[in-house]
Amino acid sequence: LNVLVLHGPNLNLLGLREPGIYGSTTLDQINQQLKEDGKTLQAEVTPFQSNHEGELVDAIHQAVDRYQGIVINAGAYTHTSVALRDAIAAVSIPTVEVHLSNIYHREPFRHHSYLAPVVVGQISGFGPESYRLGLQALVSHLQLKAT
């Protein structure tokens, strides 16, 4: 299994950025952990971060025929991007949405996700564990589909 892990805007600053909300773990540490988890789950994990909406759209298009699943933390684009939602719907690669913080505990503008209707499911609020849980959930979803 090949899994693409997409990180949206400002997630390159993890560790420095609002540590009270997002914690002190860096993006590199999250990616390393996911690669480790991938070994146990027999999934090859490829991370990609961009601050640019169009680059994330391109990455989703280029995932076709290369990745069987996507884990995405779209950051603020979660709450704004019809383009990312349409890209996920267009490629029909099973996708799991993750957030470090619980977006429903926060400001009302974070309560709506444009991605939620086109993803398999969402994991929100477990810090870096959200990514690990998201990867596990995606892999079990793909395995169930294959049987």
Q: Was 106 annotated as part of a binding site?
A: no
User: Does residue 141 have an active-site annotation?
Assistant: no
| Per CB under 6 A, 43 contacts ligand DQA | no
Candidates 7, 22, 114, 131; catalytic one: 22
Contacts 24+ apart (CB under 8 A), 50-58: 50/6, 50/7, 50/8, 50/9, 51/8, 51/9, 51/10, 51/12, 52/9, 53/77, 53/81, 53/83, 53/84, 54/83, 56/6, 56/8, 56/84, 56/87, 57/83, 57/84, 57/87
Nearer to ligand DQA, 103 or 139 (CB): 103
Answer for which of 46, 50, 68, 73 binds ligand DQA (CB under 6 A) is 73
Closest residue to ligand DQA, judged by C-beta, is 75
100 is in an annotated binding site: yes
Shortest reach from residue 61's CB to ligand DQA, in Å: 22
28 in a known ligand binding site: no
- Pairing between strand 44-49 and 95-99? unpaired
Q: Report, as residue numbers or ranges, the catalytic residues.
A: 22, 99
Q: What are the residues binding ligand DQA (CB under 6 A)?
A: 10, 73, 75-76, 78, 99-101, 103, 110
